[in-house]
Amino acid sequence: NNFYTLTVYEKGAEVVRMLHTLLGEDGFRAGSDLYFERHDGQAVTCDDFVAAMADATGTDLGAFKRWYAQAGTPELTVTDHWDEAAGAYTLTVRQHTPPTPGQPEKAPLVVPLALGLLGDAGNLRLSLAGEAADGEQADNTHRVLILEEVEQSFTFTGLPERPVPALLRGFSAPVRLDYPYTREQLRALMTRDDDGFVRWDAGQQLMVAALDDVQAALAAGEAPTLDPLLAEACQALLDPAAPDPAVAAAMLALPGESTLVELAAHAGGADIDAIHASREWLRAALAEALEDALLDCVRRHPPAAAYAPVGEQIGPR
């Protein structure tokens, strides 16, 4: 009954991509080569695919196969602790998959959590406590933590300041992530992180927080106000020196009403009319606050002489 649902098409693709993240480019290629060598022209199963990946790399993927057996979306709850005197920053990650029909109890999954730590001047060097220093990775500012237990802690040492965690870079796993970001932290990630997904997701979270403010004000019969942090972050996206205009366009788009309804329902209930009213108000308020920057953006990207479905035109359009 699941042949034509998101479970097959989107989750299936994400699970394959997690294998790529876990095994690395070379390991995934070796597994793919072995898979085709063994099974080209055959009707095969997920077990056959995972077995090829495991055999080609010598990796035990038994626990990883729970992704194929367990239903539901895992939830990662992340807390942190900063020891200023020691320059040590600890992330504690707890995973939980809610019960689903026929599966009231869930075993922990293997989850690749890609991350970086953002400081005032950019990405900070990552040194994980308990690991020997790797000369080739001395300047590494990005890594993947492997979650395999219900709860795990990771301590990064030698840090000059308390960082902002850039979590789930590249959307490294199809999970719900819960970390208590402040709005200042979200603005920092939205405007300064290197990862496109983290920047986009931070912007979406900042917009959702602003929409919640608007909805609360309208419900109380008060005049809403525009969150200045959100306005500043969106202004930065329209700067002529900003990166790819296609990325800026995606980041400037407010969360859709279906997404907002899903988030509200997950939190306990959704008022569809209130969601629509708050989204319309925020869209108009941002348009008014960014009017000059938006008009300047239009002038910088005039229509091309002849339409073509190519990247050079899609971004500016």
- Output DSSP code: residue 92: E
Total number of residues shown for the chain:
317
Cα radius of gyration (the chain): 22
pLDDT of residue 302: 86
Q: Give the pLDDT score at 136.
A: 57
Q: For residue 296, give every residue at least 6 positions away whose Cβ sits within 8 Å of its Cβ, in sequence order, or none.
A: 238, 240
Give the pLDDT of residue 221. 96
Distance CA 206, CA 202 (A): 6
**Is there a contact between 37 and 51 (Cβ–Cβ < 8 Å)?**
no
pLDDT digits (tens, 9 = 90+) for 101-137: 999 999 999 999 999 999 999 999 999 998 876 655 5
CATH class of 75-179: mainly beta
pTM over 0.85: yes
What is the chain's mean pLDDT, rounded? 92
Q: For 116, phi and psi rounded to 5 degrees?
A: -145, 170
70/309 Cα distance (integer angstroms): 40
Domain ranges of the chain: 6-69, 75-179, 186-314
Give 312's pLDDT tier (boundaries 50, 70, 90): confident
For the stretch 150-192, pLDDT in tens is: 999 999 999 999 999 999 999 999 999 999 999 999 999 999 9
65-98: per-residue pLDDT in tens? 999 999 999 999 999 999 999 999 999 999 999 9
- Give CA–CA dist 276/258, Å, rounded: 10
Q: 43: which residues sit within 8 A by CB, 6+ positions away?
A: none
Q: Are the C-beta atoms of 18 and 172 separated by less than 8 Å?
A: yes
Laid out side by side, the sheet with 88-96 consists of 151-156, 88-96, 75-83, 176-178
d(CA 119, CA 182): 15
Name the superfamily (CATH) of residues 6-69: Neutral Protease Domain 2 (1.10.390.10)
CB atoms within 10 A of CB 195: 23
193-221, pLDDT tens digit by residue? 999 999 999 999 999 999 999 999 999 99
pLDDT of residue 6: 61
CATH topology of domain 186-314: Zincin-like fold (1.25.50)
pLDDT of residue 134: 60
